């Protein structure tokens, strides 16, 4: 049984999310990888639809970026398959294509893509579109600061703070706080938190969540925000706003 809580690289990767890029052109993969990594994301690559399906089976990405030639139905078939699966249906999907006609965009969006980016595009547009999709689909991965009362978390700088000053948290505790603050007042079971914070297909005990909740509360105690991380009897945990 493996606990990645001490792995800084893994922590950074999960903090801003992991993007799976599906493209058969090595030059395009390198360029996209460069832009996305500079934006703070972890990046995995698949050269084909079959490779993408295998990667998604092993571990769910936080966002799927698919290059699509409108003459090739396989990319759209991949999106439809992702959307049809209960396990993967909520993955944000961005389509990239050299075709910018309205009909092509409608095809891609109707297949289940969240956004359609026409080539050529600049790195700033690419990152803005990625962040916009993540804000809609997975708010805690959008890398924008979140503030509740005196407590602030900033995924972009990987820092938490309050009026009393910086709050020292371990990487897993920071991810846990960021996720809970992104979904205030909503209760999450231990299993749901394991999937969201540790990642799909990473097998750790549900007891691990309790340990990190205890550590998180300890880290927040000095600033007086420890009460915000509330235990729901027989359920799980939630973040209180008042």
Report CA-CA distances (Å) from 169 to 2, 8, 233: 20, 12, 25
Q: Are residues 85 and 12 in the same domain?
A: yes
CA distance 24 to 13: 24
Q: Per residue in 87-140, pLDDT tens?
A: 888 889 999 998 888 888 998 999 999 999 999 889 999 998 898 888 776 666
Q: Per residue in 4-20, pLDDT tens?
A: 333 343 344 444 678 99
Percentages helix, strand, coil for the chain, rounded to the nearest 5?
45, 20, 35
Q: Whole-prediction pTM value? A: 0.62
Q: Are residues 21 and 123 in the same domain?
A: yes
Q: Are residues 126 and 60 in the same domain?
A: yes
Q: What is the CATH number of the domain that holds 186?
A: 1.10.10.10
Q: Are residues 125 and 208 in the same domain?
A: no
237 versus 5: the higher-pLDDT residue is: 237
Q: Are residues 17 and 88 in the same domain?
A: yes
Q: Are residues 104 and 197 in the same domain?
A: no
Quote the pLDDT of residue 9: 39
Quote the pLDDT of residue 5: 34
Q: Are residues 175 and 131 in the same domain?
A: no
Quote the pLDDT of residue 143: 64
Q: In what order do the strands lie in the sheet with 165-167?
A: 146-148, 151-154, 159-162, 165-167
Boundary of a domain, candidates 141, 164, 184: 141
Q: What is the CATH number of the domain that holds 37?
A: 3.40.50.2300
Q: Are residues 226 and 165 in the same domain?
A: yes
Angle at 227 between CA 221 and CA 228, to 5 degrees: 110
Residue-range definition of the domain harbouring residue 212: 146-239
Number of domains in the chain: 2
Boundary of a domain, candidates 85, 115, 141: 141
Quote the pLDDT of residue 62: 86
Boundary of a domain, candidates 85, 108, 141: 141
The percent of residues in the chain predicted with pLDDT above 70, rounded, is 88
Q: Are residues 89 and 162 in the same domain?
A: no
Q: Per residue in 149-165, pLDDT tens?
A: 999 998 777 789 999 89
Q: Are residues 12 and 50 in the same domain?
A: yes
Q: Per residue in 140-150, pLDDT tens?
A: 666 678 899 99
Q: Long-range contacts of range 210-217, CB-CB < 8 Å, 24 or more positions apart?
A: 212/5, 212/172, 212/173, 212/176, 213/176, 213/237, 215/170, 215/173, 216/169, 216/173, 216/176, 216/177
Quote the pLDDT of residue 200: 59
The percent of residues in the chain predicted with pLDDT above 90, rounded, is 52
């Amino acid at each position: 049984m493996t606990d990645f809580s001490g792995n800084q690289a893994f922590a950074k990767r999960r903090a801003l999310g992991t993007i799976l890029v599906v493209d058969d052109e090595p030059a395009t993969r390198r360029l996209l990888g460069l832009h996305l990594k500079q934006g703070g994301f972890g990046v995995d690559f698949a050269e084909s639809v079959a490779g993408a399906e295998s990667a998604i089976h092993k571990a769910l990405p936080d966002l799927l970026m698919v290059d699509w030639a409108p003459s090739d139905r396989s990319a759209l078939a991949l999106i439809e398959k992702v959307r049809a699966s209960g396990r993967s249906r909520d993955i944000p999907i961005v389509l990239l294509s050299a075709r910018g006609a309205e009909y092509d965009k409608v095809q891609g969006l109707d297949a289940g893509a969240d956004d359609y980016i026409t080539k050529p595009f600049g790195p700033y547009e690419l990152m803005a579109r990625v962040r916009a999709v993540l804000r809609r689909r997975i708010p805690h991965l959008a890398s924008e600061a979140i503030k509740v009362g005196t407590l602030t978390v900033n995924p972009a700088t990987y820092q938490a703070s309050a009026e009393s000053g910086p709050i020292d948290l371990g990487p897993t505790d920071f991810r846990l706080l960021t996720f809970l603050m992104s979904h205030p007042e909503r209760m999450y079971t231990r299993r749901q938190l394991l999937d969201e914070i540790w990642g799909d297909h990473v097998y750790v005990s549900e007891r691990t969540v309790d340990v990190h909740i205890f550590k998180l509360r300890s880290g927040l105690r000095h600033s007086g925000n420890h009460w915000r991380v509330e235990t729901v009897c027989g359920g799980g945990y939630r973040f209180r706003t008042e």
